[in-house]
Amino acid sequence: MIYTADRTRISLHQYGPDGELCLEHRPDNWRPSKTGADMVASCYNLLVEERPDAERTVHAHSAHVRSLGRDLRSSYCRLLIRDADLEILAKLDQCRPEVLSLYERHAGSAVIASIAYLGEKDAPVWTSDFILPKGCTDSSGYVVRIPESGKMGPINIERLTTFLNDKGLCDLVNTLVHAQESMHLLVGDQDNWELFWIHGDAEKREIVSYTTINIPSADDRIPSAFSVLPKKKVGIVGCGSVGSKIAASLCRSGVGQFLLIDDDIFFPDNVVRNELDITDTGAHKSYALKDRLLEINPVGEIRALRLSLGGQESASTMVGALEALADCDLLIDATAESVAFNMLASVSKRRKVPMVWALVFAGGIGGIVARARPNIDPVPNDARGQIDVWCVDRGKDWNRGRDATRYSGERPDGKPMIASDAEVSIIASHATRFAVDILAGAEESNFPASAYVIGFSRDWIFEQPFDTWPINLQCKEQWGETLDPLSEEELSELLKEHLLPIEDADANSSST
């Protein structure tokens, strides 16, 4: 590396005044054969190219490929501009200031600003539909369209004053420069806009420039088959490690509506495997997960219930929860609890709602994902029974793998095993793929089997990590309500058994 002796800037190809010179031989193309002499020669060639004569300094040829990330490394204040913003700004009257309101927030060691609305707060002339996360603060100022204004770059208060006065904006100068409070000024035209923050005492105003980031048009980042997902509603029972990850992944895939059910509380030790983080400590998991999903998709329709499905709840509360689940397009059991599974399975069967369930085996040796599609797969309880039989038929101890009530276990030698976040995430991801496959409604599923057992270590039936066993299930029991009507004889016997004869009833009535 080559530096200047007094650490001053001597070249446009230098990483700051006290930084090294960017030469022909760099970390991206370095060869061990290069010597110090080669570096000195490269430095000499650079300086000669930049100074062809005593009066001129030119920018030497550069091998750099520019990137937005590199350009913004030293930019603390940033303005986000969208195509919709540019369209409305282009319609502003020339050199006529308009009231401007911004949203600002701190993110990743930077201050990020975006346009909130134009005009007075009580009667805006335009409001942005750009959805921002929580934590934004309002900032006010003015916007003015000045044709051919160009980029002003680094600027001080004197230069800004001169520029605005030359454009006949003396009143705006008085408002911005001779005021006590801080405010913003957005100035530009067409695709070139610059935001300035003007602050400090009236006698000594200072300016901070924002770097403008033109947000590119959104690219399609999800398969076209997922276009139906925003209108789909998914009911998830269990918002713990598996359930929270499934919910977040489905939300990112485009699912727009959720019903979340869980009565558990989030504690610090849950953070090792959950989509939630330490800031959610003490909150109900279902409510905290609702907030998390709204951070991913602020326009999502999400309902959260703090109850235990199958627990000691009021009849009206439980009925309401079951009716809400029956209104979903897909049910997901992520509880690994038989009572909750049975209640979800009942709703799934009676109302013909497809169901997916997943669990991680003790110690993280593997896991299972399964589905039940109406009139295609067995009803959920029958499917679970067939899976149990399949596992028993493997000729090994199924209970070692099936104990999903805890994430820890022991190997035969007594060494402890604990399921990691990666293992939980894999099972949750497989369950999400099952869910999306059902919700997308393709004529032919991408998954030929109704259940899969996935191994993460050489244990139980798994011969090696990622050993996968498909389980083909047989549809036997009928989906839907299965009420057996009583025959006339059975109804007669029922009445005789439970109702008094008419004459006895009359006698009892008269003697009362």
Which range has the worst mean pLDDT, 24-38, 212-226, 298-312, 493-507?
493-507
Domain coordinates in residue numbering, the chain: 1-65, 70-214, 227-471
Examine the pLDDT at 405 and tell me if it is beyond 50. no
> What is the pLDDT at residue 450?
96
pLDDT band at 402 (very low <50, low <70, confident <90, very high): very low
Examine the pLDDT at 55 and tell me if it is beyond 90. no
Q: CA–CA separation, 465 vs 479, rounded Å?
A: 36
> What is the pLDDT at residue 426?
97
Q: CA–CA separation, 236 vs 255, rounded Å?
A: 12
pTM over 0.85: no
Q: CA–CA separation, 38 vs 410, rounded Å?
A: 61
> What is the pLDDT at residue 20?
92
> What is the pLDDT at residue 422?
95
pLDDT band at 398 (very low <50, low <70, confident <90, very high): low
Q: CA–CA separation, 413 vs 415, rounded Å?
A: 6
Examine the pLDDT at 2 and tell me if it is beyond 50. yes
Q: CA–CA separation, 451 vs 372, rounded Å?
A: 9
Q: Which CATH architecture has domain 70-214?
A: 3-Layer(aba) Sandwich (3.40)
The residues facing 157 across adjacent strands are: none
Instruction: Give mean pLDDT, residues 435-444.
Output: 93
Instruction: Give mean pLDDT, residues 348-369.
Output: 94
> What is the pLDDT at residue 201?
86
Q: Which residue has the tokens 């051919």?
A: 148
> What is the pLDDT at residue 223?
86
Q: CA–CA separation, 235 vs 189, rounded Å?
A: 49
Q: CA–CA separation, 119 vs 126, rounded Å?
A: 7
Q: Phi, psi at residue 433, to the nearest 5°?
A: -65, -40
> What is the pLDDT at residue 87?
94
Q: CA–CA separation, 363 vs 360, rounded Å?
A: 8
Q: Given CA atoms 337, 343, 344, 348 in this order, what sign does their dihedral have?
A: positive
Q: What does the pLDDT look like over 235-256, one tens digit per residue?
A: 999 999 999 999 999 999 999 9
Share of the chain above pLDDT 90, in %: 62
Q: CA–CA separation, 294 vs 288, rounded Å?
A: 10
Q: CA–CA separation, 275 vs 151, rounded Å?
A: 43
pLDDT band at 42 (very low <50, low <70, confident <90, very high): very high
Instruction: Give mean pLDDT, residues 362-378.
Output: 94
Instruction: Give mean pLDDT, residues 186-202.
Output: 92
- The radius of gyration computed from the CA coordinates of the chain, to the nearest angstrom, equals 34
Q: CA–CA separation, 238 vs 106, rounded Å?
A: 33
**467-494 core/surface letters (b: 16 or more CB in 10 A; e: else):** bebebebebeeebeeeeeeeeeeeeeee
Examine the pLDDT at 96 and tell me if it is beyond 90. yes
Count the alpha carbons within 13 Å of 15 in the hemisphere toward its beta carbon: 12
Domain 227-471: which CATH class?
A: alpha beta
Q: Using the 8-state DSSP alphabet, how is residue 56 labeled?
A: B
Q: What does the pLDDT look like over 136-187, one tens digit per residue?
A: 888 999 999 998 777 776 788 888 999 999 999 999 999 998 888 899 999 9
Q: CA–CA separation, 289 vs 293, rounded Å?
A: 6
Q: Given CA atoms 39, 45, 50, 51 in this order, what sign does their dihedral have?
A: positive
Instruction: Specify the DSSP element, H or E, that contains 381.
Output: helix 380-393
pLDDT band at 512 (very low <50, low <70, confident <90, very high): very low
Examine the pLDDT at 411 and tell me if it is beyond 70. no
Q: What does the pLDDT look like over 463-503, one tens digit per residue?
A: 999 999 999 999 988 999 866 667 777 777 767 776 655 55
* Averaged pLDDT score across all residues of the chain: 88
Q: What does the pLDDT look like over 448-467, one tens digit per residue?
A: 999 999 999 998 899 999 99
Q: Between 81 and 414, where is the model more confident?
A: 81
Q: Using the 8-state DSSP alphabet, how is residue 49 labeled?
A: H
> What is the pLDDT at residue 240?
96
Task: Please report, in angstroms and rounded to a whole number, the separation of the first and last CA atoms in the chain.
Answer: 111
Examine the pLDDT at 324 and tell me if it is beyond 90. yes
Nearest to 431 by CA among 205, 183, 249: 249
Q: Which of 41-55, 128-142, 145-159, 263-277 has the highest mean pLDDT?
A: 263-277
